[in-house]
Amino acid sequence: MRILLVEDERHLAEAVAQILKKNHYTVDVVHNGEDAIDYALTGIYDLIIMDIMMPRLNGIDALKAIRKENLSMPVIMLTAKGEISDRVTGLDSGADDYLAKPFATEELLARIRALSRRKSDQPLTTGHHFGDIELDPATLTLTVSNQSLKLTLRESELLEFLILRKGMIASKELIIEKLWGFDSEAEHNNVEVYISFLRKKLSFLKSKVVITTTRGVGYALEVADHV
Whether residues 178 and 110 share a domain: the answer is no
SS3 of 67-116: HHCCCCCCEEEEECCCCHHHHHHHHHCCCCEEEECCCCHHHHHHHHHHHH
Of the residues 104, 120, 136, the one at which a domain ends: 120
Whether residues 155 and 110 share a domain: the answer is no
Whether residues 149 and 90 share a domain: the answer is no
Per-residue confidence in pLDDT tens, the chain, 227 aa:
889 999 999 999 999 999 999 998 889 999 999 999 988 887 778 899 999 988 889 999 999 999 988 788 899 998 876 666 767 787 888 889 988 888 899 999 999 999 887 765 555 455 789 999 999 887 899 999 989 999 998 999 899 899 988 888 999 998 988 888 766 788 999 999 999 999 999 999 999 999 999 998 999 999 987 65
Whole-number Å distance between alpha carbons of 157 and 143: 15
Whether residues 132 and 63 share a domain: the answer is no
Tally of domains within the chain: 2
CATH value at residue 59:
3.40.50.2300
Whether residues 102 and 138 share a domain: the answer is no
Domain that holds residue 67: 2-120
Greatest CA separation for the chain: 61
Whether residues 29 and 89 share a domain: the answer is yes
Model pTM above 0.85: no
Of the residues 101, 120, 139, the one at which a domain ends: 120
Of the residues 69, 88, 120, the one at which a domain ends: 120
